[in-house]
Amino acid sequence: MDISNLSSTRQVLREASYKFLLPLNDGTKMFYGRKKAAIPGVIFKPADGNTIRDSNHIFSVVVNNAAGTKLWNKIVQDNQSGTVNQGSPEHEFLQLWSNIGNARQDSVDLRAMSQFPGVFKVAELYGRDRIFKYITTDLRMPQQVFVKHFGEVPDMGEEHFVKFHDARVFIPDNARAASKKAMMNVLETLFQHLRANGFGFLFHGDIRFIQLVGNRIGTYNVITKEMNIVPKVKNSKEVIYTLLHEFAHKYWFEYMDQEARVKVRQKFGELMRGDTRHKADTSSHDATIADLRANLEPGMQLDYTGRKRDFKRYSPFVIKDITKDGFLRLASVADEMEFVRVKAPIAALLTNRWSVPSLEEGGFEKPEPLTKYDMESDQWFPTKYSMVEDEEWFAEIMAFFLLDHLHGEPEEFLHEVFGV
């Protein structure tokens, strides 16, 4: 079976909730990773003979595709003769793993699955509210998808969320106390900024800490009106700015009338026709890159400390060449034939994904991240992104306003929009 196009469980779960599913005769529903994936990302089996729409007792099985593939390969490798003893755990796994992707099966074997906890994570869920909380928060299924397959959102018992001002906060079961504290800390900072500016009333509805697509920190869902925030969130300036931007979207959708939106659209159009633009000051960043470049030379070793699996495997790298346009050509130190060649911008070394041991021993320190705006000249367009379109512009300047960075004309304009 072709399982090569799925890279991780995370990927499977994210896409599983949208794309493809297989219902079995026993009421089980398997959510697949992608249209052609042979292996489901997550399986739901009613334990009480109902359909999953009516069930009050469900088994959920999260399938770790990478671990399953690894185990499969290991069994195949360990048994080069091609035979595996009937009745052995290995045999049982091979059968299970080839069956699971087979559309003709009519039930799933939970007993067999629970013997391989590294591959199948089985959880038993009692009660509609527990089912809802676990599936939408721990398994990150979007609420609309839940409603489609599992039915209405139930009334929630207080044990499933944390009450925070007027909001209900949903946190994954496996979050540790310290990260839970960090999450609440971020919410508290957000609340302070909102309340100080008279927008404390925006703190209501559901806030869910879940993994998001790509590098996003938070999103506001215009349909369900809920706020999603990644669980590993730090109380940094950038995070707070980004999340206040999302609260500005909440304000736009839930509180602004047509007149206020038209005001924003007109102003945005007017500004874009004029010559006001975002102009971030990049001079110190440029100077650091130049400084770094002057200190780099071919033959130097670089360690990759990020999370990209292929890069981790081939680290350390050595600089082969530095191009005129500011790129490094790298080769893996272990790879004498230089099959693996990487081209990276010098600026990549300023991130925490790379380290240059020889420079760091010499006292080189990575600078602070690039300042995003100039306090004076960037009042109308605090970021490049704010020039994209009117609603995003509004969200950016409102975030800027909530952080008390806005003054003069732009601030007056916002007050007009708020109707104050």
Q: Between residues 39 and 395, which has the closer beta carbon with respect to Zn ion?
A: 395
DSSP assignment string, 139-184: S---HHHHHHHH-SPPPPPGGGSEEETEEEEE--TT--HHHHHHHH
Using the contact rule CB under 5 A, the part of the chain among 56-64, 360-368, 384-392, 399-407 near Zn ion is: 384-392
Q: Helical H runs in 197-257?
A: 237-254
Q: What is the DSSP letter of 7?
A: -
Q: Which residue is nearest to Zn ion (CB)?
A: 395
Using the contact rule CB under 5 A, the part of the chain among 53-61, 80-88, 198-206, 386-394 near Zn ion is: 386-394
- Least distance between Zn ion and beta carbon 394 (Å): 9
* 321-350 residues near Zn ion, rule: CB under 5 A: none
What token pair was written down for 240?
A: 């707070």
176, 165, 125, 175: which is closest to 146 by C-alpha? 125
What token pair was written down for 11?
A: 């990927």
Q: Is residue 395 a contact residue for Zn ion (CB under 5 A)?
A: yes
Q: Is residue 264 a contact residue for Zn ion (CB under 5 A)?
A: no
Q: Between residues 216 and 312, which has the closer beta carbon with respect to Zn ion?
A: 216
Identify whether the C-beta of residue 343 lies closer than 8 Å to the C-beta of residue 329. Answer: yes
- Least distance between Zn ion and beta carbon 308 (Å): 27
The count of chain residues that interact with Zn ion, using the rule CB under 5 A, is: 2
Q: Between residues 210 and 395, which has the closer beta carbon with respect to Zn ion?
A: 395
Q: Between residues 216 and 407, which has the closer beta carbon with respect to Zn ion?
A: 216
Identify whether the C-beta of residue 20 lies closer than 8 Å to the C-beta of residue 37. Answer: yes
- Least distance between Zn ion and beta carbon 218 (Å): 10
Q: Between residues 109 and 392, which has the closer beta carbon with respect to Zn ion?
A: 392
Distance CA 412, CA 246 (A): 22
Identify whether the C-beta of residue 318 lies closer than 8 Å to the C-beta of residue 302. Answer: yes
Q: Between residues 139 and 395, which has the closer beta carbon with respect to Zn ion?
A: 395
- Least distance between Zn ion and beta carbon 66 (Å): 33
283, 230, 221: which is closest to 254 by C-alpha? 221
Using the contact rule CB under 5 A, the part of the chain among 81-89, 109-117, 235-243, 390-398 near Zn ion is: 390-398
Q: Is residue 243 a contact residue for Zn ion (CB under 5 A)?
A: no
User: How many CB atoms sit inside 10 A of residue 100's CB?
Assistant: 23
Using the contact rule CB under 5 A, the part of the chain among 22-30, 99-107, 276-284, 393-401 near Zn ion is: 393-401
- Least distance between Zn ion and beta carbon 244 (Å): 11
Using the contact rule CB under 5 A, the part of the chain among 78-86, 283-291, 303-311, 395-403 near Zn ion is: 395-403
Distance CA 180, CA 170 (A): 10
Q: Between residues 392 and 411, which has the closer beta carbon with respect to Zn ion?
A: 392
Q: Between residues 75 and 272, which has the closer beta carbon with respect to Zn ion?
A: 272
Q: Between residues 66 and 271, which has the closer beta carbon with respect to Zn ion?
A: 271
C-alpha 382: how far from its chain's center?
Answer: 25
- Least distance between Zn ion and beta carbon 397 (Å): 12
Angle at 418 between CA 414 and CA 420, to 5 degrees: 100
Identify whether the C-beta of residue 339 lies closer than 8 Å to the C-beta of residue 310. Answer: no
DSSP assignment string, 32-75: ESSTT-SSEEEEEEESSSS-TTT-SEEEEEEE-HHHHHHHHHHH
Distance CA 401, CA 319 (A): 45
Using the contact rule CB under 5 A, the part of the chain among 284-292, 329-337, 361-369, 394-402 near Zn ion is: 394-402
Using the contact rule CB under 5 A, the part of the chain among 51-59, 252-260, 376-384, 392-400 near Zn ion is: 392-400
| Distances 79 to 4, 86, 91 between C-alpha atoms, Å | 21, 13, 11
Q: Between residues 82 and 214, which has the closer beta carbon with respect to Zn ion?
A: 214
- Least distance between Zn ion and beta carbon 116 (Å): 42
What does the binding site for Zn ion look like in residue numbers (CB under 5 A)? Answer: 392, 395
